Chain A
Amino acid sequence: MLILFILAALAYGAATFAYGSRTVGADADADPVADDTGPFRYARLLLALGAALHVFAIGAQCVHGDHPLKNIYLANSFGTLIAVGGYLVLARPGRGLDALGPVLAPLGLVGLALGVMFSDVVGTAGSVPGGKDIGSAHVAFATAGLAGFTLAAGVAGLYLGMARRLRRKQYRPGRGGLSLQGLDRLHHRLVLLVTPVFTLAIVTGVLWTVEVGGLEQLRGRIFEVAAAGVAWLASVVLLVSRAIWGTRGRRSAWLTLLAFVMTILIVVSYGVRS
């Protein structure tokens, strides 16, 4: 188990360095995506290796009874793995999504480390009699939702960055990758995919809290409930306004980022409580 953790952490760390080597190069200001040589060439491979070892590390934890639904840290570890895996699938060469790598590689490392360090924390779903099934479902949906929002927010961030550079005439065309509209479509699809999952996470979370501690406990969790409500509202507004008024672009991207920030706040709040 420990050796898998060390190897996965090393791979994630190396991937972080490899992705970072591209953005901190001498010409980074002039042309942040110009240099495909050096360690950057191996960044994707290292991230994939880190993700694969992360899978084995989670597998080893499961064998010892520390499954991803046992506590928030293990769930987050699994969530970051989903986000990294999703990124590896989305960011195939030539799509210009490499800028997300420097964010997701350290995120994978943090998720992995927290999952290993706090694997023995007395958890939520698994330890609560009577609420086990619904609690497990909640943690599963929330984990998938968080991973989905992470990816969507990453793509939305790329969209905003590209739009900003285009408007300020700082963008250098002719380098391939996804277009501005392509990024907009991709981020919309990700939100479309993650919103129903996140809705289920909220519903199961509320039911589980009520089942375990009644309305009193739900009131005690008012911050998480409110944050989840804002995140859900942001993603629903995004989808509905796009369907009805065609809203897209910057407004959609900011709504996605809002939803993502809210989910992060929920996770932090859970982490602090537990």
Chain B
Amino acid sequence: MSSELFAVGVNHKHAPVELRERLAVADDQHASLLRALREQGGLHEAMIISTCNRVEIYGVAPGAEVARGVLELLASLRTLDPRLVHDHCFTRESGDAARHIFRVASSLESLVVGEPQILGQVKGALTRARDSGTVGPVLDRCMSLAFKCAKRVRSETEIARGGASVPSVAVDLARSIFGELDRCSVMVVGAGEMAEQAALHLQASGVSELVVVNRSAERGEALAAKVEGRFEPWMRLIHQLGRADIVVASTASSRPIIDRTLLKPVMRSRRHRPLFLVDIAVPRDIDGDVTRLEDVFLYNVDDLQGIVNDNLRSRRGEADKADALVDEEVTAFASWMRSRAIGPLMGKLQAHGRTLAEAEVARALPKLGELSEQQQRVVAQLGRQIVQKLLHTPMATLRKASSEGATGFDAAMLAEALEVLFELREREREAEGEAEGEAEAEADAERRSA
């Protein structure tokens, strides 16, 4: 029976968040759902990717109808109206399914094209499916090519270049000024949500020290604890300005808290050490006049957002290059699928050849008189080698036709011709009949003895 790869599901492109969250699969639900898909849905192989932007099932089914039935099963398991799911879902089969999977792994289907998290999420989904025993050869091959594709897309295009959020762009800019941040000291002024986001990003980038300065000690200490930093009271602001390399300002102050007059003596004491000021507060916390001071680099939220927008535009521009890479990997997968489909035929052909050789050798040996064991082995080997040589060319041609399509013949047509020419179907039927006969005879014998 032929097996087809498919991909079905809902994602941010077609389905509203309300539907996605109702279909979302928690980590501890994966195993039971995968089991249900295999047992009730009739899938040979399956894996589920469930993130905030997508709930998708990749699987291998005996036919397209089975794949479509998966959605109904998922809807019924989630007590949803199947029509609702149908209206917002997508279904891809064979090469289109592979292309979709490769694009997802390469972050080309992500809300923020080029974001790195999706690859880890796909890997996690595959691991969970493997643990549940629902990954077979097709999904295994497909996913390994998907990961290879994702790696190529990241390394051969600029799809992942440049931050896609304000905090990540701030970190990139800090790296452009200071290089590695492991010797950099950061001061976060304010304890709001934006300050927290920025502090978390900077902490994750490996800064050596993170100090939170805030008017309210309680909130400042809470943020410092959350981002594994140190709290300093507001009166230490100027002192910390002299120490820090990167300053993130995000207070609710209606007037600038850092201006040129305040910063001038600080910069003198810093002895030309650069100071990177990130002002993500609205209204602004840092007076724009400070840029007149030497070695001061000031970026406000609009500047950072401008870079984010440029980066996202550039990522979208790289998508065409990435698609070409995806096409190459899809072709490789399709070729593997075709060569896989002819595997059983090759096996049958070889078995047929072996049977013929063994039968002919068995008939010839008694006519040759008394032969030593070595001579008998030579005759048996001769029979096998003749058959091997005869079968080599047709098998190689079929393999080539299925993998590259380079012979000018259709692989399916060649396979059909081989089955007819060598009467492989009849022989299979005969073999099955013999096996059934033997089984019946054994059953009779058992009944008689009973």
Q: Which residues of A contact B (CB under 8 A)?
A: 31, 34, 162, 166-167, 169, 171-175, 178-182, 245-251
Contacts and interface: CB of A to CB of B under 8 A. Distances in A.
Interface stretch (B306-314, B350-358, B369-377, B416-424): B306-314
A152 to B, nearest CB: 18
Given A173-B169, A173-B307, A175-B161, A180 B175 contact: no
A173 B175 contact: yes
Contact of B176 (A34, A173, A246): A173
B284 to A, nearest CB: 14
A227 to B, nearest CB: 27
Contacts of A167: 291, 297
A169 B303 contact: yes
Interface stretch (B96-104, B269-277, B386-394): B269-277
B228 to A, nearest CB: 25
Contacts of A172: 162, 307, 310-311
Nearest to B174: A173
B90 interface: no
22 contacts: A162-B176, A167-B297, A169-B306, A171-B173, A173-B162, A173-B169, A173-B172, A173-B307, A174-B161, A174-B163, A175-B162, A178-B179, A179-B176, A179-B179, A180-B176, A180-B177, A181-B177, A181-B178, A181-B179, A246-B273, A247-B271, A249-B274
B204 to A, nearest CB: 16
B311 A174 contact: yes
Contacts, number: 65
B177 A166 contact: yes
B303 A245 contact: no
Given A169-B306, A172-B310, A249-B274, A182 B291 contact: no
Give chain A's interface secondary structure class: loop
A56 to B, nearest CB: 37
Contacts of A251: 272
Nearest to A248: B272
A246 B271 CA distance: 5
B299 interface: yes
A169 B310 CA distance: 12
A249 B161 contact: no
Among B173, B176, B272, B294, chain A packs the most CB atoms within 10 A around the CB of B176
B172 A179 contact: no
Contacts of B273: 246
B294 A250 contact: yes
B177 A246 contact: no
Contacts of B178: 179-181
Given A167-B291, A249-B274, A249-B294, 15 more contacts: A162-B176, A169-B299, A171-B176, A172-B307, A173-B172, A173-B175, A173-B176, A174-B161, A174-B162, A180-B176, A180-B177, A180-B178, A182-B179, A248-B272, A250-B295
Interface in B258-283: 271-274
Contacts of B272: 245-249, 251
B274 A181 contact: yes
Interface string B154-195: 000010011100000100110111110000000000000000
Contacts of B177: 166, 179-181
Query: Which 9 interchain pairs have the tightest Cβ spacing?
Result: A246-B271, A173-B172, A179-B179, A174-B162, A174-B172, A173-B176, A173-B173, A180-B177, A248-B272
Nearest to B306: A169
A171 B21 CA distance: 40
Contacts of A175: 161-162
Contacts of A34: 158, 314
A167 B175 CA distance: 15
A245 B179 contact: no
A246 B297 CA distance: 19
Most chain-B CB neighbours within 10 Å: which of A169, A171, A245? A169
A256 to B, nearest CB: 15
A223 B124 CA distance: 72
Contacts of B299: 169
Contacts of A173: 162-163, 169, 172-173, 175-176, 307
A246 B270 CA distance: 9
